[in-house]
Chains A and B, each alone.
Chain A
Amino acid sequence: MSTTVERNVPIADTGHNQHPQRKWQDYFGFSTDHKVIGIQYLTTAFIFYLIGGALAEVMRTELATPDPDFVQPEFYNQLMTMHGSIMLFLWIIPAGAGFANYLIPLMIGAEDMAFPRLNGVAFWMIPPGGIFFLSSFFLDTGAAQAGWTSYPPLSLVASKWGEEIWILSVLLLGTSSILGAINFVTTILLMRMPDMDIHSMPLFCWAMLATSALIILGTPVLAAALILLSFDLIAGTAFFNPAGGGDPIVYQHMFWFYSHPAVYIMILPFFGAISEIIPVHARKPIFGYRAIAYSSLAISFLGLIVWAHHMFSSGTPGWLRMFFMATTMIIAVPTGIKVFSWCATIWGGKVSLNSAMLFAFGFLSSFLIGGLSGIMLASVPFDIHVHDTYFIVAHFHYVLFGGAVFGLFAAVYHWFPKMTGRMVNETWGRIHFIMTFIGFNITFLPMHPLGLQGMNRRVALYDPQFQTLNIICTIGSYVLALSTFPFLINIIWSWLKGKQAPRNPWRALTLEWQTASPPIIENFEEQPVLWAGPYDYGIDTETIDGNETVEDMLATVSAEGR
């Protein structure tokens, strides 16, 4: 049990290579290099994160008092709709796609994605989509006001052109997402290096395979729903309009058929990232590789048959509520397997508490709370009470901020040296983590009692008895807003002036670390050799051709690659 291995991995390698690199101008044009596209995705997503966050701060400021005194209720609903839509469609989903674009070809030893031009096209739908989205604030009627769900008939009567722009933007972003997913599936299945079978592939690739399947199956249904809604809105049809004999509940079914899987589209890539980060920084093999890999697929499959749990209190028959309660609860099992496996990977390891690992701990502890409240919400009698209240707001922020965003920051700190060739300042990274973790919990923890006690969501005005907890939430949100400054300063400063990064600062075993930092244009100097599994930490007896140890091989490969 206590076997440990002394590693002789060349840490001092500066990775300052003489190979051709991209110039900064390349990041502003149409590129076919997956690494450039990955960084384009990530920086674009980050800009929208700041915009979405700014909208949230205005909302929280409004909610510091029970009366709608800081902004008008109409404008509040626009802020709320746009905050949700931006964070989902322009931050989390593109950021996940950004990491996948950057990492997948490197992780599987490929030169690029399967369809490099399609990849460029997919990215270049996002900035215009986002700008179009934001432009709706400048209309006379303002932006969409019906929430990110856009339920008819409300979406048909509130802010007609804002709503139409919302629909068109989401269609554009959804198309981008489908194109990306097709590319990921093809790349992962067909472009792996010859020695890499599907069970020696890094878990991030498994996660992206599961994510892409959901995107390909779910997004077209959302597109169909939105196109029909658009007809109702501008052509006077009545697919969903009860005034003309349409059925608003059908829209809800179609919407959630995509939008429930969408929460897995947002979290699965970061499940994958965490599965990469924890073994490296805990210096242990991932616990239960196959269990984690298959649980991603199980989540993906089950994710397609739980959508009506968003509709327990709308027009859903009793037996259907029971069916969806059962399927929703079962998702807790594969998710639980992952959480337990991550904990077991950490247990007994040699844990480095750097910024990446701190965010991974933050991810585990916050996502746990979101997961537990998620099981509660699956229970129909309880969900009927808290549906559409702040309890739900608390739940999905624990999943999507505590889960996806913490996972995303962990991934940024982990792969920053690979992407930029520079090390991040760890002290500022830790300050960023502490502020984010504290701000996050102060903001969202009080929302649980708020919802249970009777505060409904999506309101600009509320009962004065809820003011104390709302003030706490608002203060927390300011801390959360401030926490982005250490991050931004650190990232920008480190990118320009940070210490040169070696090719493998974390002594990791996955393939992306076996090339220069940042990697050269076609990724590897020569065809990489698969000499160990992605997580074979602590294994000292394994040999490649009978006499060489893993460490010898690693040293050789690094020396050759220099």
Chain B
Amino acid sequence: MNIPSNIITLIAGVALTLISLWYGQNHGLLPIAASSDAGDVDELFNFMMTIATGLFLIVEGVLVYSLFKFRRRQGDTTDGPPIEGNVPLEIVWTAIPTVIVFILAIYSFEIYNRMGGLDPMVAGDPGPNQLAHAHHHAPQLVALDPQKQNIALGLGVSPGSKQGIEPLEIKVNGIQYAWVFTYPESGVISGEIHVPVNRPVALTMTGGDVIHAFWLPEFRIKQDVIPGRETKLVFTPNKVGQYPVICAELCGAYHGGMKTQLYVQTQEEYEQWIRDNTFAMNENTDQSPVAVNPTSNSQFLAPYAQDLGVNADTLAQLKP
């Protein structure tokens, strides 16, 4: 194999490393990061960009160099050297990508774990079929049993376990072509999402008709919103501002129009917004779409217990 003299190889290697390192940090391809998780994802992306730039320059460099250097001269009908392989070289170029992907996998795992992706408490999903059997006379899914958590669907650290701050719970419903946000604490229902800065936000999401995907580009998080299931997203915004909320899963003709805004506000502004909206809703109670359930889960379910084959013990466990 005809490698250029050592000094040129060395200079090329240094230049390549410097260019890759610089571009990996300065590509400017991502929007601003509005949460600490987003910062982690950006670091991972920068790292991957550095490696990708290096590999890109090596391979494209070889190709462009060959294009000029190894061109067949007019009338030359001879062959190149009969090199069929080179075991050490092949081991090297198998080992290097293997090591790179192992490092990437471990790094990605670490970031994913830090974002709370492996937290088993994030979401409880008993699977829709189980529910369908229990309610064979009622085809619509009516409830999810939080005691039967077996698969985590979603992303984010368990509510309450991060920084010791109680997260702001918001219910998200995705319907063709709108997002509906319900604040259980205050009963506010809104088409926009307002959250205070630096407090964890826990979204519990479900789809009303087809599959949607809740995407916050500035937070680097996305989770499908699935009819008949609950999925979770937990994040902590750390920059005041206005960010787009986008539906990323094809949901019909006006899929592109299914977007709204997320407002990250100071605590005072957020409280003011909640007050304004609570007040507005109390003014016309009869028009309010919220039917506040005055009973606890167990009281509400008691009349159905016989029908469902649930005993008193199970019901007692349902108490919050």
Closest partner residue, chain B, to A539 (CB atom): B82
Residue in A154, A316, A350 whose beta carbon sits within 8 Å of that of B79 in the complex = A350
Closest partner residue, chain A, to B223 (CB atom): A313
In the bound complex, CA of A281 to CA of B20 (Å): 32
Instruction: Say which one of B101-109, B163-171, B195-203, B267-275 lies at the interface with A.
Output: B101-109
A249 engages B226 (CB within 8 Å): yes
Chain B residues whose C-beta falls within 8 Å of the C-beta of A346 in the assembled complex:
62-63, 66, 70
Chain B residues whose C-beta falls within 8 Å of the C-beta of A461 in the assembled complex:
254, 256-257
Chain B nearest Cβ from A85, distance in angstroms: 14
B256 engages A381 (CB within 8 Å): no
A314 engages B226 (CB within 8 Å): yes
Residue in B1, B85, B94, B97 whose beta carbon sits within 8 Å of that of A348 in the complex = B1
Instruction: Give the interface size class of chain A.
Output: 35 or more
User: Can you identify 19 A-B contacts, CB atoms within 8 angstroms?
Assistant: A1-B83, A77-B250, A77-B252, A247-B228, A284-B82, A314-B249, A316-B153, A318-B117, A329-B101, A339-B59, A343-B63, A348-B1, A368-B59, A369-B56, A375-B101, A379-B44, A388-B248, A453-B217, A507-B77
In the bound complex, CA of A46 to CA of B226 (Å): 39
Chain A residues whose C-beta falls within 8 Å of the C-beta of B122 in the assembled complex:
318
Chain B residues whose C-beta falls within 8 Å of the C-beta of A351 in the assembled complex:
66-67, 70-72
Closest partner residue, chain B, to A242 (CB atom): B228
Chain B nearest Cβ from A46, distance in angstroms: 28
User: In chain B between 93 and 144, which residues have their CB closer than 8 angstroms to a CB of chain A?
Assistant: 93-94, 97-98, 100-101, 104-105, 108-109, 111-112, 115, 117-120, 122, 125, 127-129, 131-132, 139-141
A154 engages B105 (CB within 8 Å): no
A361 engages B67 (CB within 8 Å): yes
Chain A residues whose C-beta falls within 8 Å of the C-beta of B101 in the assembled complex:
329-330, 332-333, 375
**A376 touching B210 in the complex, CB below 8 Å, given contacts A153-B227, A154-B251, A350-B76:** no
The verdict on B10 contacting chain A, using a C-beta distance below 8 Å, is no
- B136-156 interface code vs A (CB 8 A; 1 in, 0 out): 000111000000000111010
A313 engages B1 (CB within 8 Å): no
The verdict on A556 contacting chain B, using a C-beta distance below 8 Å, is no
In the bound complex, CA of A330 to CA of B104 (Å): 11
A347 engages B256 (CB within 8 Å): no
**A333 touching B77 in the complex, CB below 8 Å, given contacts A73-B254, A453-B217:** no
Chain B residues whose C-beta falls within 8 Å of the C-beta of A454 in the assembled complex:
31, 217, 244, 246
Chain A nearest Cβ from B179, distance in angstroms: 14
9 smallest beta-carbon distances between A and B, as pairs? A245-B132, A459-B256, A242-B228, A538-B79, A538-B82, A454-B217, A349-B80, A4-B78, A284-B80
**A246 touching B128 in the complex, CB below 8 Å, given contacts A285-B84, A453-B31:** yes
The verdict on A228 contacting chain B, using a C-beta distance below 8 Å, is no
A315 engages B229 (CB within 8 Å): yes
Chain A nearest Cβ from B77, distance in angstroms: 6
The verdict on B189 contacting chain A, using a C-beta distance below 8 Å, is no
The verdict on B292 contacting chain A, using a C-beta distance below 8 Å, is no
B244 engages A282 (CB within 8 Å): no
The verdict on A389 contacting chain B, using a C-beta distance below 8 Å, is yes
Chain B residues whose C-beta falls within 8 Å of the C-beta of A283 in the assembled complex:
72, 78-80
Max chain A C-beta neighbours (<10 A), residue from B82, B128, B252: B82
B104 engages A456 (CB within 8 Å): no
Closest partner residue, chain A, to B132 (CB atom): A245
A4 engages B80 (CB within 8 Å): yes
Chain A residues whose C-beta falls within 8 Å of the C-beta of B249 in the assembled complex:
151, 314, 388
In the bound complex, CA of A343 to CA of B94 (Å): 14
In the bound complex, CA of A316 to CA of B224 (Å): 10
- A401-419 interface code vs B (CB 8 A; 1 in, 0 out): 0000000000000000000
B248 engages A456 (CB within 8 Å): yes
Chain A residues whose C-beta falls within 8 Å of the C-beta of B71 in the assembled complex:
350-351, 353
B81 engages A319 (CB within 8 Å): no
Chain B nearest Cβ from A144, distance in angstroms: 12
In the bound complex, CA of A463 to CA of B250 (Å): 16
Instruction: Say which one of A198-206, A287-295, A490-498 lies at the interface with B.
Output: A287-295
Closest partner residue, chain A, to B94 (CB atom): A337
User: In chain B between 47 and 89, which residues have their CB closer than 8 angstroms to a CB of chain A?
Assistant: 48, 52, 55-56, 59-60, 62-63, 66-67, 70-72, 76-86, 89
In the bound complex, CA of A291 to CA of B60 (Å): 22
A350 engages B227 (CB within 8 Å): no
The verdict on A552 contacting chain B, using a C-beta distance below 8 Å, is no
**A387 touching B222 in the complex, CB below 8 Å, given contacts A351-B70, A376-B48, A461-B257:** yes
Max chain A C-beta neighbours (<10 A), residue from B80, B85, B97: B80
